[in-house]
């Protein structure tokens, strides 16, 4: 998947009203809460077959750090 497609899909899933970029800290978003975390887990699991756990969610900050956790090899 292209990073740009992943980011726009993620913005759609999280119903984010501002622009989402690689450097955006997910935790700073108004929309970020436990339900958003659930939506994120579902999106990543459906698209990549990777299940994020609570430790992953604690460690993830920016969209780029999320992409690194999923695995850079899964993006082109």
Partner 1 sequence: MFQEFHGVAIEAISACVPKRKISNDFFEELLSPKELRVFEKTVGIFERRWADDSITASDLGYAAALNLIRQNQVSKEEIECLIFLSQTPDYKIPFTSNILQDKLGLKKEILCLDINAGCAGFIQGLSTAFSFAKSLKKGKVLFIVAETLSKIISVKDRSTAMLFGDGAAAVIVSAGDLNNNTTFLNFFSDGHNASAIEIPDGGYRNQITAESLNAIKDENGNKKNKLNLTMNGPKVFDFTLREISISIEELLKKSNIEKNEINYFLLHQSNQFIIKQIASQLKVEKEKMLLNINDFGNTSGVSIPLLICSNKTILNNSQNILMSGYGSGLNWGNLITNLSKTKIFDIIEI
Binding site for partner 1 (CB under 8 A): 15, 31, 33-39, 41-42, 45-46, 51, 53-54, 57
- State the maximum Cα–Cα separation within the chain, in Å, rounded to a whole number: 30
DSSP state of 74: G
Residue at token pair 């695995």: 71
Q: Which is nearer to partner 1, 47 or 64 (CB)?
A: 47
Q: How far is the CB of 13 from partner 1 (least distance, A)?
A: 10
Q: Which is nearer to partner 1, 22 or 51 (CB)?
A: 51
Q: Which is nearer to partner 1, 18 or 22 (CB)?
A: 18
């Amino acid at each position: 998947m292209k990073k740009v497609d992943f980011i726009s899909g993620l913005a759609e899933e999280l119903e984010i009203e501002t622009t989402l970029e690689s450097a955006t800290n997910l935790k700073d978003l108004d929309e970020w809460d436990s339900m958003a975390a659930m939506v994120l887990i579902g999106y990543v699991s459906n698209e990549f077959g990777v299940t994020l756990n609570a430790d992953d969610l604690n460690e993830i900050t920016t969209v780029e750090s999320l992409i690194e956790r999923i695995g850079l090899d899964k993006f082109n």
